[in-house]
């Protein structure tokens, strides 16, 4: 459990009852200091006073309501962004859930704040804990990627030559049985100075360069080697999912290289799932469609990744012979509390069922969302509620150590409450 004793939090809430409730929860979690304010203007005054008395640059966490008199939460967020006086932000509301969606979209466009997430009131301790687990995590935002200095091509070449790009694996489990059904391979850079770097640090710099082919083959080869090892210890039905880039799908001969690599390891194509997004298909459409058709003819699985976030997801789903539909986390996270997300989630699952493809929910973090997914008939799930991405060497011990917990997740929703 994280030590919050050195953290200062500010609760901004015009309802005295709700504010007392939030302050009580934060203190029970062990926050060193919890400040209070009843609206946006008051919050800025409280912050200024605290900074003058403490000599600090800011507070670690601000939790604010949206609907408040004199200065609402949206305006407060703008001021916090300009002042750079908080490390993390949580936004709460008892109003239309779509207002919280707007805040999340603002964050995706980079407000300059680290939005941990949004919560519907009354706030429950379990939901608050889910967001607090995100404190300190580096998140990707489109603007942040654009602002990052470009890496030199020779740095990436050296990293590839030194085998510094490695896969980590995140389990996908059956929602009905709790059994692990597969693993998604996620690329990481074992940087000699900066440690393990997530894809957003380097993928955009590799895409569109001659390095993409070698990078992809390296991740595929390492993933296949691990799949062989898992088969040796009895995980014979384990599947591995590997992401393909737009560059790869647009290259006519690369599919043969992938197929030759899989064959060299003696792995059945049915155990390999290639994950692609609709934007990848849209790039060089004719060749991309030809390549995905060839992959299916050879017996590989095909997953549409991040389903629902693009404008032509349904069109691509009808064009391509997908075997798996991965529903983007933005429609999964909080769907149990937000009617609009639930409607989209339900329609995606129903569409997958009617098309006869496996439905996979991404980004599952809350038990309430898990229970809803089971109720709606989603087949597989992955996310932090199940497991974080982990090195290949930890998979076997994770499976052994989590069997009981995973079986519990497969119980009826009433048993999870």
Mean pLDDT computed over 353-363: 93
Task: Enter the pTM of the model.
Answer: 0.75
pLDDT at 248: 84
* Distance in angstroms (rounded) separating the CA atoms of residues 182 and 396: 12
CA 347 distance to own-chain centroid: 21
381 DSSP β-pair partners: 173, 361
pLDDT at 370: 95
pLDDT in tens, 168-201: 999 999 999 999 999 999 999 999 988 999 888 8
With a CB cutoff of 8 Å and minimum separation 6, the contacts of 357 are 322, 323, 324, 325
* Distance in angstroms (rounded) separating the CA atoms of residues 148 and 235: 41
For the cut 50, the answer to whether the pLDDT of residue 148 exceeds it is no
Strands, E assignment, 2-155? 8-12, 33-37, 59-65, 86-93, 115-120
pLDDT in tens, 98-111: 778 778 776 555 54
Contact 58, 86 (CB under 8 A): yes
pLDDT band at 132 (very low <50, low <70, confident <90, very high): very high
pLDDT in tens, 2-39: 889 999 999 999 999 999 999 999 999 999 999 999 99
Closest to 324 in 3D by CA, of 348, 289, 345: 348
* Distance in angstroms (rounded) separating the CA atoms of residues 19 and 25: 10
pLDDT in tens, 360-415: 999 999 999 999 999 999 999 999 999 999 999 999 999 988 888 888 887 665 44
pLDDT in tens, 39-89: 999 999 999 999 888 888 789 999 999 999 989 888 998 888 888 888 899
Percentage with pLDDT > 90 across the chain? 56
Strands of the 86-93 sheet, one edge to the other: 33-37, 8-12, 59-65, 86-93, 115-120
* Distance in angstroms (rounded) separating the CA atoms of residues 122 and 131: 15
For the cut 60, the answer to whether the pLDDT of residue 241 exceeds it is yes
Burial state string for 188-214 with b = 16 or more CB within 10 A and e = fewer than 16 = bbeeeeeeebbeebbbebbeeeebbeb
Closest to 210 in 3D by CA, of 277, 156, 132: 156
Report the Cα–Cα distance between both ends of the chain, in Å, rounded. 22
């Amino acid at each position: 459990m994280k030590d919050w004793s050195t953290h200062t939090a500010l609760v901004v809430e015009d309802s005295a009852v709700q504010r007392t409730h939030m302050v009580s929860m934060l203190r029970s979690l062990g926050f060193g200091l919890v400040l209070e304010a009843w609206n946006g203007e008051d919050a800025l005054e409280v912050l200024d006073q605290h900074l003058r008395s403490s000599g600090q640059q800011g507070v670690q966490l601000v939790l604010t309501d949206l609907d408040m008199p004199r200065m609402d939460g949206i305006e407060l967020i703008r001021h916090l962004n300009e002042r750079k006086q908080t490390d993390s932000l949580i936004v709460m509301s008892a109003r239309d859930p779509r207002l919280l969606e707007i805040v999340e979209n603002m964050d995706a466009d980079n407000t300059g704040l680290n939005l941990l997430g949004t919560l519907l009131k009354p706030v429950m301790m379990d939901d608050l804990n889910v967001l607090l687990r995100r404190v300190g995590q580096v998140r990707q935002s489109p603007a942040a990627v654009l602002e990052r200095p470009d890496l030199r091509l020779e740095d990436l070449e050296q990293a590839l030559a030194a085998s510094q790009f490695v896969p980590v694996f995140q389990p996908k489990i059956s929602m009905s049985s709790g059994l692990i059904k597969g693993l998604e391979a996620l690329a990481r850079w074992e940087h000699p100075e900066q440690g393990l770097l997530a894809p957003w640090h380097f993928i955009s710099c590799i895409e569109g360069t001659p390095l993409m082919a070698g990078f992809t083959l390296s991740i595929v080869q390492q993933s296949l080697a691990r799949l062989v090892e898992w088969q040796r210890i009895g995980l014979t039905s384990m599947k591995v999912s590997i992401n393909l880039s737009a560059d790869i799908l647009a290259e006519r001969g690369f599919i043969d290289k992938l197929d030759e690599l899989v064959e060299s390891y003696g792995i059945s194509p049915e155990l390999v799932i290639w994950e692609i997004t609709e934007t990848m298909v849209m790039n060089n459409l004719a060749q991309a469609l030809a390549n995905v058709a060839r992959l299916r003819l050879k017996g590989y699985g095909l997953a549409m990744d991040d389903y629902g976030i693009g404008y032509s997801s349904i069109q691509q789903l009808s064009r391509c012979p997908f075997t798996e539909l991965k529903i983007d986390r933005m429609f999964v996270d909080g769907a149990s509390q937000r009617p609009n997300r639930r409607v989209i989630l339900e329609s995606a699952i129903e569409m997958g069922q009617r098309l006869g493809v496996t439905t996979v929910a991404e980004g599952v973090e809350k038990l309430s969302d898990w229970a809803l997914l089971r109720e709606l008939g989603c087949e597989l799930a992955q996310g932090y509620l199940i497991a974080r991405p982990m090195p290949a060497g930890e998979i076997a011990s994770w499976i052994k150590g989590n069997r009981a917990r995973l079986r519990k997740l497969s119980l009826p929703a009433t048993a999870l409450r």
